[in-house]
A and B are shown apart, each in its own frame.
Chain A
Amino acid sequence: MAVSDLVLLEADHARFTTVLQRLCKDANARFVFLIDKNGQQLASAGDVSALDPTSLASLAAGNVAATDGLAKLLGEREFSILFHEGEHDNLHINVVGGKTILLVIFDERSSLGLVRLRVKKATAELAGIVHDITTRSQAQRAAVGSLAPFAEITDDDIDALFS
């Protein structure tokens, strides 16, 4: 594989969640999501029970990927911030640490200026955590050479999925 696999431990998730919860509160946002560039959700804050996080993550990642394509066409390295304004809800998207995407959904109780300000601070913290996870995953891969515990998967385990 060209890209190292991402392994998210509970401690990583807790660190992400702490930052996202603070951001959600400070920015007066409705929901905050962190997803990876392939469209997988890593962590969230706010009451997301009424949303479909999986679809949101996939479409946001597609949106960022398409915007990256646009940037390259124009000779830019990237457009790091995307903003979608709706009648009630707005979506602020930015790339964090080159590998992850931060989504902030907010309504009239907040403002773009406040969100931008708070996101900037949170982004630095999140980028640090992403860096730690990436470094650890690469070191583990180099040391163990596999993705434990999946190295232990048997053919029977796989067949059982389809039974």
Chain B
Amino acid sequence: MTFINYAAREINCKIVYYGPGLGGKTTNIQFIYDKTGTGSKGKLISLATESERTLFFDFLPIELGTIRGFRTRFHLYTVPGQVFYDASRKLILKGVDGVVFVADSQEARMDANVESIRNLRENLKEHGYTMERVPYVLQLNKRDLPTAVPTADLVSALRLNEEPVFEAVAPKGVGVFETLKAVVKSVLVDLKNR
């Protein structure tokens, strides 16, 4: 749910990074945090287990600049990818304005990718959204691994419609900002067209 604050002249949108466990969602957010100037970002909040797996969510507020006199603020969240944290994933999707799906390119994780997209569809539905309507970007992460499936095969298996697709190596930042820009653009275009 986009929140427009005329008093503060700002617009706030919520973007959620979704995907299977250990796919690189937190790494995306961490890279954005590391490379964003101090004045444009808030604190990175990570609610993680002792083994650094996301327990509830990661949260990073960033500011991109002004549009029509309004500051644009994007609240980036990740969900815990592990299957048994479904209740948390549902909660975090509440009020979402845009979704990035971070797929794991490794062949062994293909079933997990497919299951996670199915889970995303179900959880969006519970909030009254559809995958076809929500601004959505697909990121194919871990492209540097020797076990990575060819891009064309991943696109064929995971791409739903005409959503933008980006290849990424999140720890090195490859494709991270391109993905963020694409989802931000989709959110703003959606806002404009509503």
Contact = CB atoms under 8 A, between A and B. Distances in A.
B118 interface: no
Nearest to B96: A38
B83 interface: no
A153 B7 contact: no
B95 A55 contact: no
Interface residues of B, number: 44
B12 A10 contact: no
Contacts of B1: 1, 3-6, 36, 38
Interface string B1-45: 111111110011010000000000000000000000000001101
Nearest to B42: A54
A157 interface: yes
A161 B59 contact: no
A39 B43 CA distance: 14
Contact of A161 (B65, B129, B192): B65
B68 A157 contact: yes
A69 B94 CA distance: 12
Interface string B127-161: 11100010000000000000000000000000000
A4, A8, A58, A66: which has the most chain B beta carbons within 10 Å? A58
A10 to B, nearest CB: 5
A155 B137 CA distance: 18
B100 interface: no
B56 to A, nearest CB: 6
Interface string B155-174: 00000000000000000000
A30 to B, nearest CB: 20
Contacts of A7: 4, 6
A161 B7 contact: no
A6 B128 CA distance: 17
A2, A42, A151: which has the most chain B beta carbons within 10 Å? A2
29 contacts: A1-B129, A1-B194, A3-B1, A3-B128, A4-B1, A6-B1, A7-B4, A8-B4, A9-B6, A9-B7, A10-B7, A13-B7, A13-B8, A38-B14, A40-B5, A40-B12, A54-B43, A54-B61, A54-B75, A55-B42, A58-B75, A62-B56, A65-B94, A146-B194, A147-B2, A150-B68, A161-B72, A161-B184, A162-B185
